[in-house]
Amino acid sequence: MNLWEYCGKHVKITVDEGQSFTGRADLYTSALDNPNGVETLSIWQDDSKDTLIEFEIHEIAYIEILSDNPVVIAEAI
């Protein structure tokens, strides 16, 4: 599983326990850059736009891409 490929995409992550989370994948951290030595992917959860959830690669059972449209961070006025 190449977690970095999901950055910027709207995804549904299902964890080992069967619980699912949907949101915009925003931050990938490689095992080399992570102090605990584990790859992670963080998403901004849909039902709470100010909640960033981090998943370690071993927690993820499945990732589904819901949309791969580019993310607009800010628009000029």
For the chain, the domains span 3-67
pTM of the model: 0.81
Options 1.10.260.40, 3.20.20.220, 1.20.1560.10, 2.30.30.100; CATH for 3-67 is 2.30.30.100
For residues 61 and 9, what is the distance between their CA atoms, to the nearest angstrom? 18
* pLDDT tens, position by position, 2-49: 999 999 999 999 999 889 999 999 999 999 999 999 999 999 998 776
Contact 44, 74 (CB under 8 A): no
pLDDT, position 17: 86
27-31, 61-65, 71-75: segment of lowest average pLDDT: 71-75
CA separation for the pair 16, 5 (Å, rounded) = 20
| Alpha-carbon span 64 to 43, nearest angstrom | 13
Q: Report CA 74 to chain centroid distance, whole Å.
A: 20
